[in-house]
C-alpha cells in the first residue's frame, strides 16, 4: 500500500512537471525517446499500445477551437478527447459538463461590472449552444469561397453552425475555419452575449497572431526564429 | 504509514490543483493531461476552408506540438487523421456514415517524409519542410505540407484562466503563443474527387431524406471535419 501511494505521488508529480514543461520554459531533449516512442505518457501510464488487440489509442481530437479548454471541465478532458469525433452518443457527464460551463459564461461578470444578462434560454433543459459544441466538428461548404475579392481570408467561423443550429441567415462563405480570424473574441461574444445588439464588447485584447497566414500554400506562416 | 499516505495524497491534490490551472491554455493547446504529456499528439488548432488557390479544392490543416522547436519531429507512431463526413441534411444535422478520412503518417528518415491517404485512392507525399509539396501545384488532386510553422493561435491564456477561476472577464491582451511555433500538417485536396462521389452515389437517398428537410444538400456539399491523433499499437 505504501509503495503504491508513493508511486501514485511520483506519477502525479511527474505529470505536473510535464504540464509545466509544456509551457515552454524548457525545451525537450531531442535525443531522448518521446513519451509516445517510449510507449508511456509522462505520468508513467501506458499509452494503451501495449496490447495490439486494443487498437489505436486516441490521444486528442479537435474541431471547434476552445471547446476542450473553455467548455470541458479539466477532469473530463481526457474522456472528451478520447471520444470519436462522430460518436453517435456523447456521454451524459460530458454533456452536463459542457452545459454547466455554457450557463456560467452566459451570466459571467464583466470586468469590474456586474453579471451580464441572461441571453440564452435553456429550452427543454438544453442550452441552445450545446448542439453546436457537443458535436465538435467544423462544417465547411466546399462550393463557396473563403476569400474576399481583394484576396484575403474572410471571417467564416461558425457561419454554417449559426444557420443550422441557431436559425441564422443563409451562409455566404465556406464556413469551416480560416486562419487569422479572431475566433476567441467571437466565441466569447457568442457565449456571453449571444451577439445581442447593443451588447458589451467582449475581447481578449489581442488583435492577431505573431505572423499572419497567407493565401498561398501552405497558408500557415513561416516559423519564428529563436525561443518565444 | 499514515504520514506516507498523507504525503502522497497531498502531492496528488497539489498536482490536481495545479493541473487544473495548467491545462487551460489556448485554442486546443494542452487540453487535458494525456494530450499535454504527449506533445507530438497534442492538437493545438484545426482549420478547414476552400482553397484560395483553387476553388475546387478544400484545405484541411492541423497543428500539433505547442512550443515546437526546430528539432521537433512528428511521431512515427501516431496517425494524424482528419475525420471527414458528408452532411446529408442540415436540420437536424445528419451525416452519411461513409468514412471519408484523410490520414497522415511519418517515417523515421531524416528529414522525415509524410504520407497522406484519402478516399478514392488519393495519396500525397512530401519531405517535411518542403513548402512546394514536391512541386505539386494547386491543380494536383492532392498535395501536402508538413513542418514547423508560426503558431497561428493568439490567446490570452492567463486571462482565460483567471476568467474561468473567478467567473469574471479578466483579460490583459497577453498572447501566450507570441513568437511560438507548432508542427503543422496542411492537406489540400480536390473535394469533388475525394469526397463528393459519395454525394453522387446517393448518400441523401440512402439516408432516407428529402430536400424538404431544409437546405438542399445537393446544392450544399457540406463536409463535417475534425482532427484526431491516434497512437498505433506496438506489434507484439
Residue of B nearest to A7 (CA): B8
Is residue B15 very low, low, confident or very high in pLDDT (cuts 50, 70, 90)? very low
Cell numbers that stand for B172 in this block = 490583459
Residue B231 above 70 pLDDT? yes
Residue B103 above 90 pLDDT? yes
What is the model's pLDDT at position A2? 39
Is residue B142 very low, low, confident or very high in pLDDT (cuts 50, 70, 90)? very high
Is residue A36 very low, low, confident or very high in pLDDT (cuts 50, 70, 90)? low
Is residue A60 very low, low, confident or very high in pLDDT (cuts 50, 70, 90)? very high
What is the model's pLDDT at position B34? 80
Contacts (Cβ under 8 Å, ≥6 apart) of B180: A24, A210, A224, A228, B66, B67, B68, B150, B151
Position of cell 443563409?
A170
Q: How far is B150 from chain A (nearest CA, A)?
A: 4
What is the model's pLDDT at position B27? 63
Long-range contacts for A43-50 (Cβ within 8 Å, ≥24 apart)?
A43/A11, A43/A12, A43/A14, A43/A15, A43/A18, A43/B33, A43/B37, A44/A7, A44/A10, A44/A11, A44/A14, A45/A11, A47/B38, A47/B231, A48/B231, A48/B233, A49/B77, A49/B231, A49/B232, A49/B233, A49/B234, A50/B234
What is the model's pLDDT at position B32? 76
Cell numbers that stand for A73 in this block = 471541465
Please tell me if residue B17 touches chain A, with a CB cutoff of 8 Å: no
Please tell me if residue B160 touches chain A, with a CB cutoff of 8 Å: yes
What is the model's pLDDT at position A24? 30
Is residue B62 very low, low, confident or very high in pLDDT (cuts 50, 70, 90)? very high
Does the distance separating the beta carbons of A24 and B43 come in below 8 Å? no
Looking at chain B, the whole-number percentage of residues with pLDDT higher than 90 is 63
> Can you tell me the mean pLDDT for B150-168?
93
Q: Cα(A4)–Cα(A11) distance, rounded to whole angstroms?
A: 10
What ipTM, to 2 d.p.? 0.84
Does the distance separating the beta carbons of A20 and B22 come in below 8 Å? yes
Does the distance separating the beta carbons of B159 and A209 come in below 8 Å? no
Q: How far is B127 from chain A (nearest CA, A)?
A: 13
- By Cβ distance, the residue of B31, B91, B236 closest to A77 is B31
Residue of A nearest to B137 (CA): A217
Beta bridge partner(s), residue B181 = B150
Tell me which of A119-128, B20-29, B157-166 is least confident: B20-29
pLDDT per residue as tens digits for the range A98-129: 999 999 999 999 999 999 999 999 878 789 99
Does the distance separating the beta carbons of A86 and B11 come in below 8 Å? no
Please tell me if residue B79 touches chain A, with a CB cutoff of 8 Å: yes
Please tell me if residue B36 touches chain A, with a CB cutoff of 8 Å: yes
Residue of A nearest to B10 (CA): A9
> What's the pTM value of the predicted model, to 2 decimals?
0.83
Residue B4 above 50 pLDDT? no
What is the model's pLDDT at position B2? 38
> Phi, psi (5° rounding) for residue B80?
-100, 110
Please tell me if residue B195 touches chain A, with a CB cutoff of 8 Å: yes
Does residue A59 sit in helix, strand or coil? Answer: strand
> Phi, psi (5° rounding) for residue B157?
-65, -50
> Can you tell me the mean pLDDT for A119-148?
92
Please tell me if residue B181 touches chain A, with a CB cutoff of 8 Å: yes
Residues of A in contact with B47 (CB under 8 A): 176-179, 219
Q: Cα(A171)–Cα(B140) distance, rounded to whole angstroms?
A: 28
Average pLDDT, whole number, for chain B? 83
Is residue A141 very low, low, confident or very high in pLDDT (cuts 50, 70, 90)? very high
Interface size A-B, in CB pairs within 8 Å, comes to: 401
Does the distance separating the beta carbons of A210 and B150 come in below 8 Å? yes
Position of cell 493565401?
A215
Residues of A in contact with B32 (CB under 8 A): 60, 68, 74, 77-78, 80-81
Amino acid at each position: 500500500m505504501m509503495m503504491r501511494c508513493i508511486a501514485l505521488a511520483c506519477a502525479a508529480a511527474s505529470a505536473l512537471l510535464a504540464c509545466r514543461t509544456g509551457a515552454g520554459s524548457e525545451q525537450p531533449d531531442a535525443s531522448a525517446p518521446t513519451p509516445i516512442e517510449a510507449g508511456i505518457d509522462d505520468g508513467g501510464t501506458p499509452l494503451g499500445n501495449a496490447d495490439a488487440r486494443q487498437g489505436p489509442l486516441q490521444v486528442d481530437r479537435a474541431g471547434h477551437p476552445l471547446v476542450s479548454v473553455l467548455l470541458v471541465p479539466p477532469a473530463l478532458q481526457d474522456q472528451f478527447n478520447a471520444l470519436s469525433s462522430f460518436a453517435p452518443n456523447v456521454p451524459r457527464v460530458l454533456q452536463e459538463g459542457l452545459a454547466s460551463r455554457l450557463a456560467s459564461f452566459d451570466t459571467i461578470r464583466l470586468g469590474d461590472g456586474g453579471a451580464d444578462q441572461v441571453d440564452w434560454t435553456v429550452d427543454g433543459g438544453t442550452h441552445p449552444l450545446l448542439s453546436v459544441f457537443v458535436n465538435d466538428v467544423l462544417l465547411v461548404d466546399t462550393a463557396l469561397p473563403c476569400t474576399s475579392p481583394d484576396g484575403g481570408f474572410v471571417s467564416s467561423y461558425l457561419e454554417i453552425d449559426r444557420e443550422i443550429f441557431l436559425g441564422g441567415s443563409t451562409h455566404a462563405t465556406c464556413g469551416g475555419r480560416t486562419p487569422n480570424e479572431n475566433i476567441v473574441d467571437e466565441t466569447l461574444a457568442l457565449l456571453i452575449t449571444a451577439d445581442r445588439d447593443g451588447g458589451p464588447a467582449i475581447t481578449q485584447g489581442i488583435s492577431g497572431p505573431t505572423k499572419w497566414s497567407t493565401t498561398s500554400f501552405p497558408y500557415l506562416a513561416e516559423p519564428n526564429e529563436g525561443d518565444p | 504509514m499514515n504520514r506516507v499516505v498523507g504525503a502522497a495524497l497531498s502531492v496528488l491534490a497539489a498536482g490536481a490543483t495545479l493541473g487544473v490551472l495548467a491545462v487551460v491554455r489556448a485554442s486546443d493547446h494542452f487540453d487535458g493531461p494525456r494530450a499535454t504529456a504527449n506533445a507530438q499528439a497534442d492538437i493545438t488548432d484545426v482549420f478547414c476552408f476552400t482553397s484560395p488557390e483553387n476553388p475546387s479544392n478544400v484545405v484541411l490543416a492541423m497543428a500539433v506540438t505547442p512550443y515546437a522547436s526546430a528539432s521537433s519531429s512528428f511521431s512515427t507512431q501516431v496517425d494524424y487523421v482528419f475525420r471527414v463526413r458528408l452532411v446529408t441534411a442540415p436540420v437536424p444535422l445528419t451525416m452519411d456514415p461513409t468514412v471519408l478520412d484523410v490520414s497522415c503518417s511519418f517515417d523515421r528518415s531524416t528529414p522525415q517524409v509524410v504520407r497522406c491517404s484519402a478516399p478514392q485512392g488519393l495519396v500525397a507525399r512530401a519531405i517535411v519542410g518542403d513548402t512546394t509539396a514536391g512541386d505539386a501545384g494547386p491543380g494536383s488532386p492532392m498535395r501536402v505540407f508538413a513542418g514547423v510553422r508560426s503558431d497561428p493561435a493568439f490567446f490570452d491564456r492567463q486571462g482565460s484562466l483567471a476568467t474561468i477561476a473567478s467567473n469574471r472577464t479578466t483579460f490583459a491582451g497577453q498572447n501566450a503563443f507570441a513568437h511560438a511555433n507548432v508542427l503543422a500538417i496542411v492537406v489540400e485536396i480536390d473535394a469533388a474527387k475525394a469526397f463528393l462521389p459519395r454525394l453522387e452515389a446517393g448518400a441523401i437517398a440512402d439516408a432516407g431524406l428529402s430536400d424538404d428537410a431544409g437546405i438542399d444538400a445537393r446544392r450544399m456539399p457540406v463536409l463535417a471535419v475534425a482532427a484526431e491523433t491516434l497512437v498505433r499499437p506496438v506489434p507484439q
